[in-house]
Amino acid sequence: MSLEEHQDALELIMSKYRKQMLQLLQGRKGEDAEPVLEVHQANSLEIASEIDRVCEMGEVMRKAIQVDDDEFFKVQEKLAQLELENKELRELLSISKESFEVGREDLPDCEA
């Protein structure tokens, strides 16, 4: 996805560059090529700036995804722990109830 964004940005920049170069060449056919070189250098700096920006955005997205994945796994782990604890507590409660009922059956009736 980052590569596609990078390629799209480069295509946009290059199309603008080509358009400007064509306009420059058509308007200044007889003039020196030196101004064209300056425009080319300026466009190169703009392209480099855009590339850096796209790369920074990609890195920020990767970090955000990593943080999100880490948080998701922490929540999943905590959920699994709680489910296991719940199951164990229910088993203890069941054992306690059975023990209490067996103890009540063994006691003689005191109402007589």
Q: What is the pLDDT of residues 40-69, one digit of tens each?
A: 888 888 999 999 999 999 999 999 999 999
CA gap 69, 62 in Å, rounded: 10
Please check whether residue 24 is in contact with residue 39, taking contact to mean a CB–CB distance below 8 angstroms.
yes
- Distances from the Cα of 101 to the Cαs of 64, 96, 108, in angstroms? 55, 9, 13
Q: For residue 1, what is the DSSP state?
A: -
Q: What is the pLDDT of residue 72?
A: 94
CA gap 14, 43 in Å, rounded: 9
Q: What is the pLDDT of residue 105?
A: 74
CA gap 12, 16 in Å, rounded: 6
Q: What is the pLDDT of residue 112?
A: 45
Q: For residue 32, what is the DSSP state?
A: -
Q: Record the tokens describing residue 67, joined without a space.
A: 């943080």
Q: Which residues does the chain have with pLDDT short of 70? A: 27-36, 107-112
